[in-house]
């Protein structure tokens, strides 16, 4: 079973994402910020990370930078999730190294398609 880490400071969003992904057949581990995401990935790596951009303690971009600097984590797909969509933000997130970009509210079917696409790409690499 493929494992996904969901990093979001909003408890309701973590629960919604976990339910959607679990229904899609994934094992889901939720954390509340970027520091917890990094610790989780170093302790028990996942196949993909969904990372909120705006979190306390360590935001999504900071966590992504730490992952990309760690040889054991640098190839794991990381999808940015945010409630604040604007094209420049999407382009910046992708330029910074995020694999994809999803906006809240997240459509379950779109989420599962995007996740499957990135997990498949990672397996092919």
Along the chain (125 residues), what's the average pLDDT of each consecutive run of 10 residues? 97 97 97 97 96 93 96 96 82 92 92 95 81
Give this prediction's pTM: 0.94
Predicted local confidence at residue 114, as pLDDT: 95
Predicted local confidence at residue 90, as pLDDT: 85
Rounded to 5 degrees, φ, ψ at 46 are: -115, 170
Contact 67, 78 (CB under 8 A): yes
Predicted local confidence at residue 125, as pLDDT: 73
Residue keyed to tokens 């933000």: 89
Predicted local confidence at residue 89, as pLDDT: 81
CA atoms within 13 A on the CB side of 96: 21
| Of the options 3.60.40.10, 3.30.420.40, 3.40.50.2300, 1.10.357.10, the CATH number for the domain spanning 3-124 | 3.40.50.2300
Contact 34, 50 (CB under 8 A): no
Check the CA dihedral 57-98-24-2 and report its sign. Answer: negative
Instruction: Locate 5 and state its tokens.
Output: 């880490």
């Amino acid at each position: 079973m493929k494992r996904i880490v969901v990093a979001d400071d909003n408890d309701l969003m973590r629960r919604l994402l976990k339910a959607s992904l679990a229904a899609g057949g994934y094992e889901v581990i939720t954390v509340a910020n970027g520091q917890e995401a990094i610790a989780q990935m170093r302790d028990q790596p996942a196949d993909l990370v969904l990372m909120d951009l705006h979190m306390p303690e360590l935001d999504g971009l900071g966590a992504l930078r730490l992952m990309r600097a760690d040889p054991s984590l640098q190839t794991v797909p990381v999808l940015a999730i945010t409630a604040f969509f604007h094209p420049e933000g999407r382009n910046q997130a992708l330029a910074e190294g995020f694999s994809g970009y999803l906006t809240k509210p997240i459509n379950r079917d779109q989420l599962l398609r995007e996740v499957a696409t990135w997990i498949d790409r990672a397996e092919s690499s």
